[in-house]
Structures are given as structure tokens and as C-alpha cells.
Amino acid sequence: MGAVLGTGVIALPALAADAAGPASLLAWLALVVVSVPLAATFAALGARHPDAGGVSTYARLAFGGRTAAVVGWCFYLAVPPGAAAAALFGGAYVAAAVGGGTTTATATAAALMATVTAVNAVGLRMTGRLQLALAGLLVVLLLLAVGLSLPHARMDNLRPFAPHGWPAIGSAAALLVWSFAGWEAITHLAGEFRRPGRDLPRATGAAVVVVGLLYLSVAFAVTTVLGKGAAGADAPLGELMARGMGGNARVLAAVAALLLTLGTMNAYYAGAAKLGAALGRDGALPDWLARGEVAGEVPRRSLGVVSGLGFAGLLTVTVAGVGPQPLVLLTTGSFVTVYAIGVAAAIRLLPRGSKGRAAALAAIVAVLALLVMSGRYLLWPLAVTGAALLYVRGAERRRAGRLGARRRNSVP
């Protein structure tokens, strides 16, 4: 649950409503349905190949080192735009509580990004218990927002159901991938389970049910309570709580949103910084990034790249005045690409006739549909894929050249 529940739910119900109106509920439902085979696929992979490398390991086992490098690059370069979007989501709640509009939201986002960078640079880490508490806080926030606001729901707000046409559901679904990304994350921890073959599918199944019900409840409340105002709500959960508790609830929602955003960004910055150092160590990125890849060391160079690209994304959308939506779509395009590679690896690695392979065959159809829905935002992961393959190919040639030179010099 902690891997999937995150900052997306504090803002994406409004963005999805803006894209498709009440019909965005069908997009939420579709993503819940898609999550079933997708989560089952990664649970089966984790149970059969428990390794901390996760999807990258599966890609290497199924397709070789170059494909594993592509997965690594897609993850690494998805974090900066995702971090900027998450920070803007948190900033929007502060702006809704204290005023100041875009200026407050952007300043808060920059402060969040700077804080997380500083925390990781000095080597501090949030404890597992604190991360668990933040995930629990999100569940409480969701239940409060839904429970307090539903008495104000009006079924008239569901009409017209598809004001932007039925194809807009696909656009909403492309946005919502952000909220459902994370089913692959548990594969990195599969080796920590005492009995991964039994416990991992159980944990995943329970998470699919709980997360699906929470997301559908929030989406229904946002649509039926806020009505047409949902599309313009920068802090939809704050608005729901304000309907049930009064205007002061926006401050409570803002505090919760800041804590949640800080926890999520901390986890992603820490993970991405280590990933970049590991890619540098393995030759998939420049070797000067490898410093800090050893357990216990701080990968400050890799962290600097992640942070710098994140601030660049924040600056770009601020100057352009387009908000976080393009950043969300760039990030989800990368996630869908990683899912496509992971599911393809599952089809090759899992035994024929197994439940896991059947789930992978169902998931690949859904992932292909998500790739189509992502549209032009797939250009980003395609560019990343091309750059990764070119870099790895060049690195292999350089290593081969150095090896040949050493052999020639060793001949008497």
C-alpha cells in the first residue's frame, strides 16, 4: 500500500475531472482493473526471482544488459519531473490554506525540493516507522475527506457524464498512471520476506483491494461533492474536508499534504541517487557518478543531478505557466515504458501455464493500451531509451578498445 499510495491522490482527482469530467470515474475504475494483472505479474516475478534489482534484474535476465540499462535510465530520469510535480501538489495545498496562488505554491515547491536535497546530502534518512506513519496519515486523510464530505454529495453533479467526449477518458487514464505506479516497487523487497512465494501474493492482493477502494471512493466524492468545481480545485482533498468541517480544515489538509509530499520525495530522491551511482558503477552512466554507491556512503554527485534536473523542471513549468500536468505525463510515460519492459520480461521468465504468466499476458494488453493513451508524452521515454542505448554501446566500444590496447601492449 505504501508503495502505491502517494502524492498523486492529493491532486490527480481534480486533474482527471478537468480532462474528462464525471467520466473520469471510468478511468479510475479502469486503472483499478488494470492493477490486478499488473500487480499479480510483479508479485509472481518477485516470488520466483527475489532480488533487490527488481525490474532491472528481470530485464537483464530476459533481454540482456542493454535493456536493463534502459530501465535504469527511465527510472532515474523519471524522478526529477515527478519530484517537481509532487512538490507543486504539496504547494497547492499551502496556497489553498494561506493564499498567494501560484507564487505561494511555487515557493513552497522550491522549499520542499531544497529541503529534501539537503536532507539526503548530509546522509539523513527517514526511518521505516516514520514512512509507515506517513502512509497511515494519507489513509486517514482520505477517509476523513470522503466520510465528512459525502453527506454533501449530489448525483446531479454526474451530468453531463462525458462533457469532453468519451476519448477524454483515455487522457484522464494517462494522468492517473501516476497514482497507480508502484506495483513494481515491492519486487525490490521480495528477498526480505520470510516466505516470498506465499506472502508476496497475499500482500499484493490485499493492497490492490484496499488501494482500489480508497481511490474509487475519493474520485467519487470529488466528482459528486465538488461538481464542476472539481476541475479547478488545486487542493481537492482540502476542499472536501472544508465542506465537512469548515474552512479551517484546509490548514489541516495543507499540513498533511506537506508531510506526505516530504516523505514521498525523500524516498524517491534517496532511491534515485543510489540508482544513479549504481548505473555509474555498472557503466550505464558516466563513472564519475559512481561515487557513493557503496552501502553507507552518500551519492552526492548523483543526488546533485537529480536535484538539478528537478529544479529545471520546476522552473520550466513556472515560466511557461502550464502547471504540473506536463510533468505528470512525462513521468507516467516513463513508468508505462518500464511496465512494458517488466511485463515482457515476465512473459519470457515465468513458466508456461502458471498463474503469473497468465497475469502477464493480460497485463501486456493493458500496458499497450496505456502506451497508446500516453501519446506524445512517450517521446520522452523514447528519447531516454535512445540515449541509454547509444551511451551503453559507446561504453562497450571504449572498454573493448582499452582491452585491445592492453593486450597489444602485453605482447613481447
What is the DSSP track for 155-205?
GGGG-SS-TT-TTHHHHHHHHHHHHHTTTTGGGGGGGGSSSHHHHHHHHHH
Residues 6+ apart with CB under 8 A from 86: 6, 7, 261, 264, 265, 268
What is the DSSP track for 37-61?
HHHHHHHHHHHHS--TTTHHHHHHH
Rounded CA-CA distance 26/65 in Å is 39
282 DSSP 8-state letter: T
* pLDDT computed for residue 24 by the predictor: 94
CA distances 385 to 41, 77, 137, 388, 390, Å, are 23, 11, 37, 5, 9
Q: Are 260 and 10 in contact (CB under 8 A)?
A: yes
Tens digit of each residue's pLDDT, the chain (412 residues): 776 777 778 888 888 988 899 999 999 999 999 889 988 998 888 888 876 567 888 898 999 989 989 998 998 999 999 999 999 999 999 998 888 889 999 999 999 999 999 988 887 665 566 767 777 877 888 888 888 888 988 999 998 998 999 999 988 988 888 888 777 766 656 666 777 778 888 888 888 898 899 899 999 999 999 888 888 888 888 888 888 777 678 888 888 888 888 888 887 888 788 888 888 888 888 888 888 777 667 889 999 999 999 999 999 999 999 889 899 888 988 988 988 999 999 999 999 989 889 999 999 988 888 888 888 888 989 999 999 999 988 888 877 777 677 777 765 5
* pLDDT computed for residue 191 by the predictor: 64
* pLDDT computed for residue 48 by the predictor: 84
Torsion of CA 153, 155, 156, 161, to 10 degrees: 120
Q: Which residue has the cell 496562488?
A: 101
If one counts every other C-beta atom within 10 angstroms of the C-beta of residue 393, the result is 12
Q: Which long-range contacts (CB under 8 A, 24 or more apart) does 244-249 make?
A: 244/144, 244/145, 244/147, 244/148, 244/149, 244/151, 244/152, 245/148, 249/148
**77 residue type, one letter:** L
Q: Which residue has the cell 508505462?
A: 336
* pLDDT computed for residue 247 by the predictor: 65
* pLDDT computed for residue 140 by the predictor: 84
Q: Are 351 and 357 in contact (CB under 8 A)?
A: yes
Rounded CA-CA distance 145/236 in Å is 9
Query: What are 278-311's pLDDT values in tens digits?
Result: 888 888 888 888 887 776 678 899 999 999 999 9
Q: Which residue has the cell 520466483?
A: 48
CATH homologous superfamily for 7-400? Amino acid/polyamine transporter I (1.20.1740.10)
* pLDDT computed for residue 299 by the predictor: 87
Give the start-to-end residue ranges of the domains of the chain. Answer: 7-400
Cell, residue 123: 546522509
**165 residue type, one letter:** G
Closest by alpha carbon to 212, among 34, 10, 23?
34
What is the DSSP track for 64-94?
-HHHHHHHHHHHHHHHHHHHHHHHHHHHHHH
